[in-house]
Amino acid sequence: MKKSRLFIDTNIVLDLLGERKPFYEQAAQIATLADKGEIELIVSALSFATVNYVLTKYENAASSKNKLRQFKIISRICGLSEQIINKGLNSKFPDFEDALQYFSAVESKCNVLITRNGKDFKLSQIPVLTPEEFLKSYFEKH
């Protein structure tokens, strides 16, 4: 069976690293699957910048960077190319950041996009699942 390649939206990374209740537990379960090598996590470079910005509002910069370093171990970072920016600028996505996330997922050949804001990805050509939906599906198959 092919390993799932999940694109993780910024809100899920924030749930995990910010330990945001009640969403932390499911984000942590996904991170554990990645740590065990059972799934691949792909995250946009943009998410790392955004997560650092948000976390430093609640904790010191050293703590935030340490959390991002730890998360980087279990995830792969996809860059933002000129092509992705162009696709985002010319897409029908109402939100530019969501467009960048989506086209990053496509460019990275992800087979699922994980977010809590599925309504933002109505134009997606790949499955968009919440962490809960992904975990339910994953454990039904394994």
Report pLDDT digits (tens) over 14-39: 999 999 999 999 999 999 999 999 99
Cβ(114)–Cβ(133) below 8 Å: no
Choose the CATH number for 4-141 among 3.30.530.50, 3.40.50.300, 3.20.20.110, 3.40.50.1010: 3.40.50.1010
Name the DSSP class of 119.
G
What pLDDT, on a 0 to 100 scale, did the predictor assign at position 106? 97
What pLDDT, on a 0 to 100 scale, did the predictor assign at position 142? 86
Q: Where are the domains of the chain?
A: 4-141
What pLDDT, on a 0 to 100 scale, did the predictor assign at position 1? 60
**What is the per-residue pLDDT across 53-96, written as a single tens digit (0 to 9) for each?**
999 999 999 999 999 999 999 999 999 999 999 999 999 999 99
Rounded to two decimals, the pTM is 0.95
* CA 95 – CA 132 distance, rounded (Å): 24
Exposed, middle or buried, 92 (CB in 10 Å: 0-12/13-18/19+)? exposed
Average pLDDT over residues 90-108: 97
Question: Alpha-carbon torsion 7, 48, 15, 3, what sign?
Answer: positive
Cβ(7)–Cβ(101) below 8 Å: yes
The stretches of 9-129 forming alpha helices (DSSP H) are: 10-17, 24-35, 45-55, 61-73, 82-89, 96-107
Residue 99 pLDDT exceeds 90: yes
CB-CB neighbours of 68 under 10 Å: 19
What pLDDT, on a 0 to 100 scale, did the predictor assign at position 64? 97
Name the DSSP class of 3.
P
